[in-house]
């Protein structure tokens, strides 16, 4: 406890940023004695420091329009030092949050850098509010195109639904060319803005119709760079289906769900013609994403665009290799395995297309049992479900891998939000890399609270 307080106190003098610490037992024998729970080891524990907070006056509030038309209030603050950086802007998330804070212009607000890089406003010092201060109200019209904003049922978000809104078009193109999507290098925000302003691109298919002359005619565009952009656009046709799916900016579809959809259906044609139920059955694609994808492919404006993109040679097939060894099978793991943790076994099964469930039922395909397996093994025997050991699992995988099935490069997908927050919010860009811990995480904000 004492050490954690000392480290916490020296946070600012460290050459990197920390938001917590991990306490581990060094003694391997003791580690083994303590073992692990289903989620985390019992011999390591993480502490999270209380987030630093600073108070500063709110100067103004800006309304940003994102790729899906969502309007996000962003606070401009009098610059203040916080956790090693100067903070000038902070997100207000949405207008419910503004109402909760009862935010007024000129208020002195508390700002914190939590787990995210973007600082957020936590509270308002009402006693410091200037006399006659006006409350911050939600705009009724889009700050970019002037169209009335819609408040969609069940969402706290205000949205501009004008599909020609310049803010949305710009964001959509920026997203489409991004690395995780179509990866069109050199086509940066300034060039996109210029191409939109000169009427060269209005919709995504327009990108693939650009000529070298179109590009050269843009301001500050050298011949050589025009050729580079042109080639990069052409090269993006070689991407895989999930990149296109991700790039289309379908609401709620991030790169993980795009990948899962592409992997599952393999072709764009199958995704377009899938039923809502088919879509919702894909791994990690729930009701909300499934419905959104279905709606997208059944909206005339988008089906038209998709037809054009296909004609222009955009990727329509999934190019990754999927391991299908255990596809359609549900396994249950029980007992202590000789050489690996249950968690490792779970990963192996999932990597090879199988599912792992926590309890044995008639739907269980097989049980992977180790030493001291208890009630699950009994139940499996009762139900006549095949029981295998670790050696069997490894042999199956080895046999499959020695065939022509190669590795899947899709590891490491994590974030899957439909919309990326404005990167410009990241204060003065001196944000340091946060060290990713190897310990269990959860949310907590209290002083040195456990998570």
Binding site for Zn ion (CB under 5 A): 142, 144-145, 160, 162, 165
**DSSP-H helix ranges across 35-158:** 95-101
Our CB check for Zn ion shows the closer of 162 and 218 to be 162
- Shortest Cβ distance from residue 144 to Zn ion (Å)? 5
- Shortest Cβ distance from residue 145 to Zn ion (Å)? 3
- Shortest Cβ distance from residue 146 to Zn ion (Å)? 7
The beta-strand segments (E) located in 66-190 are: 70-82, 85-91, 108-112, 120-125, 150-151, 158-159
Our CB check for Zn ion shows the closer of 164 and 227 to be 164
- Shortest Cβ distance from residue 72 to Zn ion (Å)? 13
Our CB check for Zn ion shows the closer of 21 and 145 to be 145
Other Cβ atoms less than 10 A from the Cβ of 49: the count is: 20
> Which H or E run contains 367?
strand 366-369
Question: Angle at the Cα of 274 (from 271 to 275), degrees rounded to 5?
Answer: 145
d(CA 368, CA 355): 12
Our CB check for Zn ion shows the closer of 69 and 290 to be 69
Our CB check for Zn ion shows the closer of 162 and 194 to be 162
**DSSP-H helix ranges across 334-416:** 342-351, 375-383, 390-401
CA distances, 224 to each of 29, 128, 229 (Å) = 63, 57, 9
Give the N- to C-terminal CA distance of the chain in Å, as an integer: 15
Our CB check for Zn ion shows the closer of 251 and 342 to be 251
- Shortest Cβ distance from residue 139 to Zn ion (Å)? 11
> Which H or E run contains 289?
helix 287-297
d(CA 113, CA 445): 11
d(CA 303, CA 298): 7
Our CB check for Zn ion shows the closer of 162 and 260 to be 162
- Shortest Cβ distance from residue 152 to Zn ion (Å)? 15
- Shortest Cβ distance from residue 308 to Zn ion (Å)? 24
Our CB check for Zn ion shows the closer of 95 and 366 to be 95
**DSSP-H helix ranges across 186-254:** 189-197, 204-207, 212-216, 223-235, 241-247
d(CA 91, CA 74): 5
- Shortest Cβ distance from residue 202 to Zn ion (Å)? 15
């Amino acid at each position: 406890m004492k050490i954690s307080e000392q480290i916490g106190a020296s946070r600012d003098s460290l050459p990197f940023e920390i938001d917590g610490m991990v306490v581990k037992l060094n003694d391997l024998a003791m580690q083994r004695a303590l073992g692990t729970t289903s989620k985390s080891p019992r011999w390591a524990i993480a502490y999270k420091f209380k987030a630093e907070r600073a108070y500063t006056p709110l100067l103004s509030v800006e309304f940003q329009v994102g790729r899906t038309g969502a309007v996000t209030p962003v606070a401009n603050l009098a610059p203040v030092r916080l956790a090693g950086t100067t903070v000038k802007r902070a997100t207000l998330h949405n207008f419910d949050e503004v109402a909760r804070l009862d935010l007024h212009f000129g208020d002195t607000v508390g700002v914190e850098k939590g787990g995210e890089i973007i600082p957020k406003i936590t509270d308002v010092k009402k006693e410091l509010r200037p006399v006659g201060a006006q409350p911050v109200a939600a705009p009724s019209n889009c700050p970019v195109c002037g169209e009335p904003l819609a408040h969609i049922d069940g969402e706290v978000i205000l949205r501009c639904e004008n599909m020609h809104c310049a803010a949305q078009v710009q964001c959509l193109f920026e997203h489409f060319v991004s690395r995780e999507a179509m990866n069109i290098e050199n086509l940066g925000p300034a060039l996109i803005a210029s191409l939109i302003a000169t009427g060269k691109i209005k919709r995504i298919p327009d990108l693939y119709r650009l000529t070298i002359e179109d590009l050269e005619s843009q301001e500050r565009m050298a011949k050589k760079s025009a050729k580079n952009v042109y080639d990069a656009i052409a090269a993006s046709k070689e991407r895989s289906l999930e990149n296109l799916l991700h790039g289309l900016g379908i609401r709620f579809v991030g790169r993980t769900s795009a990948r899962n959809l592409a992997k599952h259906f393999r072709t764009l044609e199958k995704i377009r013609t899938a039923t809502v139920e088919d879509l919702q059955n894909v791994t990690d694609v729930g009701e909300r994403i499934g419905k959104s994808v279905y709606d997208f492919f059944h909206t005339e404006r988008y089906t038209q665009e998709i037809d054009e993109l296909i004609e222009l040679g955009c990727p329509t097939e999934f190019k990754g290799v999927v391991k299908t060894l255990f596809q359609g099978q549900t396994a249950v793991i029980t007992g202590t395995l000789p050489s690996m943790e249950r968690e490792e076994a779970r990963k192996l099964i999932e990597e090879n297309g199988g599912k792992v469930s926590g309890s044995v039922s008639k739907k269980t395909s097989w049980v992977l049992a180790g030493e001291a397996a208890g009630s699950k093994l009994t139940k499996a025997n009762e139900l006549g479900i095949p029981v295998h050991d670790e050696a069997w699992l490894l042999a199956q995988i080895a046999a499959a891998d020695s065939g022509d099935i190669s590795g899947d490069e899709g590891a490491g997908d994590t974030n899957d939000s439909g919309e990326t927050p404005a990167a410009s919010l990241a204060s003065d860009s001196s944000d340091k890399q946060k060290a990713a811990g190897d310990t269990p995480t959860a949310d907590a904000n209290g002083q040195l609270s456990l998570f």
